[in-house]
Structure 1
Amino acid sequence: MSSNETQKVLMAKIGAAHGVRGEVRVKPFGDDPLSFTDYGVLTTKDGKQSFEVQNARVQKTVVVTKFKEVTDRNRAEELNGVELYIDRDQLPDTEDDEFYYSDLNGLTVQDPDGKAMGKIVAVEDFGAGDLLEIRPKRGKTFYIPFTKDFVPEINLEAGFVTVDLPEDYLSDEKPSDSSGASPDK
């Protein structure tokens, strides 16, 4: 990333239209479901569209949101799937041992002996907890749980994380049955 290119942080994603007056359901990314409303204008990643929150209310697992720029259901329906970003420098500074998930993208992943295993390409949550998606030098990306047991060290300044995987974690072999029976019987 060039020095004049500002890093964007994904704050929320617009979902389905809600009602006829231009409200939309928004899936927030963050501990506080309304935190995306605290940063003023939100933009698409390319910066071509911007949205200012007029009002928002939590409703079950989404935040029903009215943007000033969206005045009817037709426009609201067009926005389904649009991701909303802010500039990284709008976020508050972190404390020691704190970080934003976006800070992890691009970090080198190494084993406990310091051998490089790949790079972090994303932090995902599919519903069962946070996962790091890692792209090795060769082969397909893989996921590891983002827990202290699996990721005992994060060093943002040096640009790496250390992961401690069980011996057979990356094996393609199926686990054997402890009784010695063939799985086909």
Structure 2
Amino acid sequence: MKTEDSFYIGYITKTRGLKGEVQAYFEYDEPEELELDTIFVEINGKLVPFFTSAVKMQANKTAYLYLEDITTIDQAAQLVKKSIYLPNSKKPQRNADEFRYTDLEGFIVHDANHGELGEIIAIHEYPQQLVAVVAYQFREIMFPLNNDFIDEIDEEAGILHVNLPDGLLDVYLGS
């Protein structure tokens, strides 16, 4: 399988126990929707298939996986920090009208006090919240994506209207 025929879901973070179990961290939004009977691990630039014999999903976007033919901690250790992919055919389909905060990447941010700030260049997902990264005055500024700061999302125009707290921009601009 080639990388363009698959989609990235996360990576293997560490081994667990002595019998080859590994922990995987999912960067995919909803890992519980993924079909993990076969995963593809990127090893030396190639996607190598592994059949899973057991999957234990955790609440923090991680899972414990037993992979067939990986039966020792030494074998499992060789997979640590390797990226995990699934075939495009296994990508869960979303409803057309379903919108997520992660869809805001590429939107232009307009603040009620400072006007246009710039384009959202990335969305970082932290355990407590999602954070938008915006290129503003040749610097990156960050702010949480939550209902307290968001006034309106104009999906058609690609504009996010926010009302950021006083002083937030000053932290980044040093003023």
Contact 2:41 2:82 in 1 (8 A): no
1:28 is matched by which residue type in structure 2?
Answer: F
Percent identity among equivalent residues? 22
Q: Which residue of 1 aligns with 2:152?
A: 153
- Of the structure 1 ranges 10-19 and 86-95, higher mean CA displacement relative to structure 2 is found in 86-95
Q: Which residue of 2 aligns with 1:176?
A: none
1:171 is matched by which residue type in structure 2?
Answer: D
Question: 1:112 Cα shift?
Answer: 4.2
How do residues 1-185 of structure 1 correspond to structure 2 at under 5 angstroms?
Answer: 10-29=8-27, 34-38=32-36, 41-42=39-40, 48-54=46-52, 55-58=54-57, 61=60, 62-68=62-68, 70-86=70-86, 87=88, 90-94=91-95, 96=97, 98-99=99-100, 101=102, 103-112=103-112, 115-139=115-139, 141-172=140-171
Contact 1:117 1:136 in 2 (8 A): yes
Assess, with a 3 A threshold, how the Cα gap between structure 1 residues 98 and 145 changes in structure 2: closer, same or farther. same
Whose helix proportion is higher, 1 or 2? 2
Whose strand proportion is higher, 1 or 2? 2
Point out where structure 2 has 5 or more consecutive residues left out of the alignment.
Answer: none
In the TM superposition, what whole-angstrom CA distance separates every residue of 1:94-114 from its partner, at most 9, and x where no partner exists? 35352362x333332233489
Aligned residues: 166
Question: 1:14 Cα shift?
Answer: 1.4
Question: 1:50 Cα shift?
Answer: 4.3
Point out where structure 1 has 5 or more consecutive residues left out of the alignment.
Answer: 174-185
Contact 1:33 1:63 in 2 (8 A): no
Give TM-score scaled by structure 2 length: 0.67
CA distance in structure 1 between the aligned counterparts of 2:156 and 2:69, rounded to whole angstroms: 40
Question: 1:42 Cα shift?
Answer: 4.6
